[in-house]
Amino acid sequence: MSIPAKNPKISFTIMNELVLPNDTNTLNNLMGGRLLHWMDIAAAISAQKHCNNIVVTASVDNVSFQHPIKLGDVITIEAQVTRAFTTSVEVRLSVWAENIPSGSRVKSNEAYYTFVAIDQNSKTIPVPAIKPETEDEQTLFDGALRRRQLRLVLAGRMKAKDATELKALFSE
């Protein structure tokens, strides 16, 4: 039985959080671990929307903190599935920090999370494919295979010589 493909926008998720004193370090900046926790929740919601099933976090790509998020800021996390593989999905996240009194809004983080769909017995299950409709969705979809191969090479689950998409980048 074939699972119908889905458009990425079905998985689009927006999550907002207010940075409170308990979320900050001694410099009144949001603690990185708290942000990663919120990002994981937003990404899981997005992945579950796509898979219509339970998902578990398989990997988190490099997360760079480009801009500090301050006490009192409102963060907005946007998450969307970019590509589906056999039993896993890649989710792209963008994090925005907004200081409501000043009206300033800045992008502070971006990352990719990978989730695996599982059944009630913790066995992996197939996920619906992605059918990109916009140019941006197609660009993210195309890049997902390279990002996946890089993840697998770095995790020791794929030999670099077998990462054909990555090799193609360097031979152009």
Q: What pLDDT digit, counting tens, does each position of 124-142 carry?
A: 999 999 999 999 999 999 9
CA distance 82 to 144: 7
18, pLDDT greater than 80: yes
168, pLDDT greater than 90: no
Q: What are phi and psi of 169, to 5 degrees?
A: -60, -40
* pLDDT score at 1: 61
Mean pLDDT of 96-120: 96
- DSSP per residue over 103-158, as a string? TEEEEEEEEEEEEEEE-TTS-B-----B---SHHHHHHHHHHHHHHHHHHHHTTSS
Q: What pLDDT digit, counting tens, does each position of 76-90 carry?
A: 999 999 999 999 999
In percent, how much of the chain has pLDDT > 90? 76
Reported pTM: 0.90
